[in-house]
Amino acid sequence: MKKYLGIIVDAVSRRQLKGEVTVENGKIILIEEKEHDKEQYILPGLVDSHVHMESSMTVPSIFARMVVAKGTVAVVSDPHEIANVMGEEGIDFMVEDSKRSPLKVFFGVPSCVPATPFESAGAVLDAEAVDRLLAREDLHYLSEMMNFPGVVLGFPDVMAKLESAKKCGKVIDGHAPGLRGADLETYIGVGISTDHESFTYEEAVEKIKLGMKILIREGSSARNFETLYSLIDEYPEAVMLCTDDSHPDTLIYEGHIDKLIRRGQEKGLDIFNLIRAAVINPVEHYGLNVGLLREGDPADFIIVDNLKSFNVISTFIDGECVYENGKVLFPMEKVPAKNVFNRNKISIDDIKLAVPAGETGDRKEGMRKIRVIVARDGELVTGQELAFPKVENGGLVSDPERDILKMVVLSRYADDPVRIGFIKNIGLKKGAIASSIAHDSHNIIAVGATDKDIVEAVNRLVENKGGIVVGTVENLLDLPLEVAGLMSTLDGAEVASRYRLLNEEARKLGTLLESPFMTLAFMSLLVIPELKLGDKGLFDVTKFEFVELFAEE
């Protein structure tokens, strides 16, 4: 039996009291008012309501070490990324590795593997596989249904997956950026209950009024808290907090769900509504076995210095102290590497793009404009515009002066042709960046100032069988990711330090993006508008079809 003194933040009853929490056999057996002089606060442990742990670039057991230090006791996790690379074997890896830490991880069954039929993926989870997986007790919900056109149009395979979730009594997560009106009503009407992709206040409110729970996302690239935070006080019963995709440096240096508690306090939000969004709503919505700081609950709680700075002193899971005063209190175990990577190196010839026959290469006459992807810092959505390409020696090349850079995507699963496009707002003046983290199929993606830089960066990735790379031909830096080309088995602080170094190098090469590798990773995400590049070609998401690089005006 152990006792803990502090100012107890009872989020369920919406009150604060000086008191003592008594823990025995992993449960809270008594909470009583008691006078004391301890200047610390006891709160229920935090919950991330939607996260892809793969985006931390660390395996679950290492991810756990980073987030318990920030007061997180549980995560609702979609193993969608590794499933697209390795299928059920990847899901099993995540489940088994998560058992190496005390963090409570509630995995879902990925609903969209592959995410679209328009790119090459490493696996397929069809309706039969999803039905089988949903029957497992260690898989708790149907993960984000990204194929919202398939829902709206009633595709049989999509509807079968939704019916399997209903049959098993499991929550269905949504993913519907920009979906409004009648199509949104249809989407919600099939039982999809959440959305983390709202990027305007009006969109989020419409979804709430139709019965959805809105997950306010603050990741490394997609950051919606500033736009949506007022919903926490306006609709406290309908909002949760999540990170979705956070890179290791964000977790180590900025924080996890705790940073949103701090920012909410700075915005003047009600502390009890914040805790409701960060703990109560996800626990109740997903039916999680996570304590809410009540007698009889699992002893999942945190102690912080005060509610404003919200510095975590201790984290407890099932009554065990897993973090205290800067130290994680469970061991780091050795994790076996698993991967799928079947790509050989490429050459300059593979990414040459000749001026089409009959066109002169002269911008003023005889040359058509090309479609250019327009990246937006901090968002997954892109724009598109038309521009004359730069031509050298009869081929289309990057134009750093106008910030129109060549981008390539190539399959990691076979030696298929390299696909080529152009992108604006990456900002490189020299060198290249490349990654095998490329949502959702995680093929190889690279952007560079010259063809040679692009080829060298891609070939370093091939040598490493995945990871991220940045630099010039003369000076390439890398971070190998030996698990599925997505995650490292190194300590989180080491991965974060190396990743920060690579980001700094990218900025030296000219990018102004807050998170260049995270932004790059979403430039091949064919389910989020507007223009993206996959390993089968340039794709207009609004039309849901491939388009030619050269446009007819």
Distance CA 483, CA 505 (A): 24
pLDDT tens digits, the chain, 553 residues: what are they? 999 999 999 999 999 999 999 999 999 999 999 999 999 999 999 999 999 999 999 999 999 999 999 999 999 999 999 999 999 999 999 999 999 999 999 999 999 999 888 999 999 999 999 999 999 999 999 999 988 889 999 999 999 999 999 999 999 999 998 899 999 999 999 999 999 999 899 999 999 999 999 999 998 777 899 999 999 999 999 999 999 989 899 999 999 999 999 999 999 999 999 999 999 999 999 999 999 999 999 999 999 999 999 999 999 999 999 999 999 999 999 999 999 999 999 999 999 999 887 665 555 555 789 999 999 987 778 999 999 999 999 999 999 999 999 999 999 999 999 999 999 999 999 999 999 999 989 999 999 999 999 999 999 999 999 999 999 999 999 999 999 999 999 999 999 999 999 999 999 999 999 889 989 999 999 888 899 999 999 999 988 899 999 998 6
* Residue-level pLDDT at 359: 66
Pairing of strands 104-109, 312-317: unpaired
Cα torsion 523, 524, 530, 531: sign: positive
pTM value is 0.92
* Residue-level pLDDT at 358: 63
Helix/strand/coil (H/E/C) assignment for every residue in 381-393: CCEEEEECCEEEC
Closest by CA to 251, choosing from 537, 28, 497, 524, is 497
* Residue-level pLDDT at 177: 86
* Residue-level pLDDT at 440: 87
Distance CA 120, CA 388 (A): 30
CA dihedral 266, 272, 275, 277 (to 10 degrees): -90
Helix (H) or strand (E) holding 42: strand 41-44
CA 196 from centroid of its chain's CA atoms: 11
* Residue-level pLDDT at 363: 54
Q: How far is CA 520 from CA 6, 28, 125, 379, 424, in A?
A: 45, 45, 26, 11, 11
